[in-house]
Amino acid sequence: MLCILMILTIASFTGAVSTERSVEKRATAYQLVSTEVDWYNAKAACETQNSKLAEIRSQADLDAAIQATTGYSRPFWIGVIDPQEDNTFEYATGGALTFSNWMSNAPFVYNQVSSVVMYPGSGEWENVGTYYTFGYLCVSDTGPGVSGDPHMTTFDGRPFSFQGICWYTLFKDCSSSNPDFEVTAEFEPREDSSIQQVRTRTVSVNVTVGGDFVIINRLDVVAGRADEHMTEARPIHVHKDDKTITLTFTSKDTTFTLHWTLKKHSLRVSIDGSDYRGHLCGLLGDDDGNSRNDFLTPDGDVVYDATEFGRSWEVEGKKCD
């Protein structure tokens, strides 16, 4: 069921646009990792990135997974296992299979726990011992945003983890040097952080649209104008209940919705509209439908290292530790 929810969520980011875009989005929610590890390590590795081992629950999931692994030549792990050794396969997060794509004669009978690899191209499944090592396919578990310590998922579905202690640009309009809007967030160390292992989380968010800003600091909301002389109505709408704050603003044809849940230190972002497609920049990427170019620095370089990428979006002029 989780996966169906995810599809709905992703479909809602795209709003009233063609289904083509949602298919594209769905493919980019999958991340193939070519490092070969056993099934349990593959599952754990996906989970450290706010994602999970791909659970193929429908033909649409299969098509998206095939699309996301085009060009790879080896089988890769997916989130399907036979924990009881009785050829009753389940999803890694529990529950009976709702879909399968076994190769002929599979699943094979083993006297041990086996789990499933999928072949690129055909998308066929085969079960093998969990101790074999293969690359693996993760799927982003949530929509775009930042949560936990802090795990991010870009608009194009790329999950990564970045432990900075400062203010960073989550996303802004990058179509001109005078952005229509900018959303920045402050990350602070968690209580369980140590010198050896810094773990941080989001504590404040600053949404600036034109001359207006709204700053959320934990559960406090402060709104104001940077430019006192402008008198237009505030374009940033704030809705607050006891646990979450929802913030909405519209620029050109696009409505951005931010859901802030303090308890989870989670900020989820959804986009409805197309004028800023491919014209965003910051930690959540450019929203062009391609997750491979998401680590773009303010200087326009695509980098591979999440830490280098994260640091490049530190807000200038903020005092940080």
Ligand X SMILES: *[C@@H]1O[C@H](CO)[C@@H](O)[C@H](O)[C@H]1NC(C)=O
Span 157-196, contacts to ligand X by CB under 6 A: 182, 184
Applying CB under 6 A, what is the total number of residues that bind ligand X?
6
Structure-token pair, residue 41: 């390590």
d(Cα 149, Cα 161) in Å, to the nearest integer?
Answer: 8
Question: Is residue 202 a contact residue for ligand X (CB under 6 A)?
Answer: no
Stretch that binds ligand X, among 51-59, 68-76, 206-214, 249-257 (CB under 6 A): 206-214
Stretch that binds ligand X, among 2-10, 207-215, 229-237, 287-295 (CB under 6 A): 207-215
Helices then strands (H, E): number in the chain?
A: 5, 20
Q: Which stretch binds ligand X (CB under 6 A): 6-14, 73-81, 205-213, 251-259?
A: 205-213
User: What is the closest distance, in whole angstroms, from the C-beta atom of residue 217 to ligand X in the complex?
Assistant: 9
The radius of gyration of the chain's CA atoms, rounded to the nearest angstrom, is 21
Q: Tell me the three state secondary structure of residue 193.
A: coil
Strand, coil or helix: what is 44? helix
Is-contact 38 133, C-beta < 8 A? yes
State the minimum distance, in angstroms, from the CB of residue 215 to ligand X: 6
Bridge partners of 215?
206, 222
Closest to ligand X by CB, 49 vs 208, is: 208
| Shortest separation between residue 257's beta carbon and ligand X, angstroms | 19
Geometric angle at alpha carbon 161, from 265 and 121, rounded to 5°: 120
Residues 244 and 257 sit within 8 Å (Cβ to Cβ): no
Taking the complex as a whole, how short is the minimal distance between the CB of residue 62 and ligand X, in angstroms? 42
Is residue 213 close enough to count as binding ligand X by CB under 6 A?
Answer: yes
Taking Cα atoms as reference points, which of 10, 100, 87, 19 lies closest to residue 55? 100
263, two tokens:
């308890």
Which of residues 77 and 213 has its CB atom nearest to ligand X in the complex? 213
- Does residue 208 belong to the site contacting ligand X (CB under 6 A)? yes
Q: Which is nearer to ligand X, 8 or 320 (CB)?
A: 320
C-alpha 50: how far from chain center: 7
Residues 32, 113, 165, 215: which binds ligand X (CB under 6 A)? 215
Q: Say which residue the tokens 């608009």 belong to.
A: 155
Residue 7 Cβ, how far from ligand X at the closest point, in Å? 33
Q: Which residues here bind ligand X, judged by CB under 6 A?
A: 182, 184, 206, 208, 213, 215
